[in-house]
Amino acid sequence: MINLSNHKNQKTYMDYSKELLDRIWGKGIPVEGYNPNIIRKDACGAWILRNSYELDDSDYCWVVDHIFPLTLLKQNYINESEINLFDNLRPLNKKNYISKANDYPNYKAVIIAEGDKNISCDKLFTVNKELQQKLSILFGLNK
């Protein structure tokens, strides 16, 4: 089992309310045998811990990811109030968030779960077509 005892409880919520962070956390992948209120996996399959939000010294640190990257939305003159639409937000292990950067719809993960630990990897992912289409419609970016 993953050791939860040496993770700090201090949280910095930045611009997201606790309620919104809880909803975003709910988009993480629950894993059988683990309490989904405490631990989940991100879209790349890396472990994330609820109390490790923005906790940089944790291997299970997670942040809020804009699936369709923030920078690309701003380049397309998307209104600031629309950028944080819930459908475009998800929890992502911070190392995967950094490696994803502004890549969309294909991006690289650098960490995945193996057993009860996260390990380094170099794996490509693609946002599923259904979500790509939904985000394109939401942001008025149909080609």
Q: What is the pLDDT along the chain (143 residues), one digit of tens a residue?
A: 444 443 333 333 357 899 999 999 999 999 999 999 999 999 999 999 999 999 988 999 999 999 999 999 999 898 878 888 999 999 999 999 999 999 999 999 999 999 999 999 999 999 999 999 999 999 998 75
CA angle (134 as vertex; 133, 135 as ends), nearest 5: 90
Q: Which amino acid is at 42?
A: D
Distance, in Å, from the CA atom of 73 to the CA atom of 82, rounded to the nearest integer, reads 9
Q: Which domain holds residue 50?
A: 18-138
In a domain, 2, yes or no: no
Q: What count of other Cβ atoms lies within 10 Å of the Cβ of residue 97?
A: 22
Radius of gyration of the chain (CA): 15
Domain tally, the chain? 1
Q: What is the pLDDT, as a whole number, of residue 143?
A: 55
In a domain, 66, yes or no: yes
In a domain, 116, yes or no: yes
In a domain, 113, yes or no: yes
In a domain, 89, yes or no: yes
Instruction: Give the CA distances from residue 104 to residues 27, 50, 59, in Å, rounded to whole numbers and listed in that order.
Output: 19, 26, 24
In a domain, 10, yes or no: no
